[in-house]
């Protein structure tokens, strides 16, 4: 059984992390969009002759590696907060089901 305290905690967590969740998602979305910009800038700066060589150089550049690390961290941060919110939502929904069953006289 989910206690009322656990339910309250889950509800407050969901409420308190709305902005954090939105910020993490926005950061991730912005980083996804900036990948093309970074690659384009590196391609333009490359002195290589073929497009394949330019792209290889661009993907191994310091700027791209830094972007990639930042992106990986953003994905991790987003997935952590998303998983915690899913867990809190599951607690909330389970409590609702248990409370509804109790009102109907169903023993859990």
Q: Assign 3-class secondary structure to the chain.
A: CCCHHHHHHHHHHHHHCHHHHHHHHHHHHHHHHHHHHHHHHHHHHCCCCCHHHHHHHHHCCHHHHHHHHHHHHHHHHHHHHHHHHHHHHHHHHHHHHHHHHHHCCCCC
Q: What is the pLDDT, as a whole number, of residue 105?
A: 85
Summarize pLDDT for 60-97 with one digit per residue, the tens.
999 999 999 999 999 999 999 999 999 999 999 999 99
C-beta separation of 38 from 64 below 8 A: yes
Q: How many residues are recorded in the chain?
A: 108
Kindly report the pTM of this predicted structure: 0.81
Domain ranges of the chain: 30-98
For a pLDDT cut of 90, what percent of the chain falls above it? 81
Confidence of residue 103 (pLDDT cuts 50, 70, 90): confident
């Amino acid at each position: 059984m989910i206690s009322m305290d656990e339910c309250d905690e889950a509800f407050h967590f969901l409420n308190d992390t709305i902005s954090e969740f939105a910020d993490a998602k926005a950061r991730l979305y912005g980083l996804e969009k900036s990948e093309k910009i970074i690659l384009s800038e590196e391609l333009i700066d490359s002195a290589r002759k073929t497009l394949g060589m330019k792209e290889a150089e661009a993907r191994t550049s310091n700027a791209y590696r830094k972007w990639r690390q930042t992106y990986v961290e953003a994905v991790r941060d987003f997935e952590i907060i998303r998983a915690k919110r899913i867990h809190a939502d599951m607690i909330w929904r389970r409590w609702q089901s248990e409370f509804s069953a109790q009102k109907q006289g169903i023993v859990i």
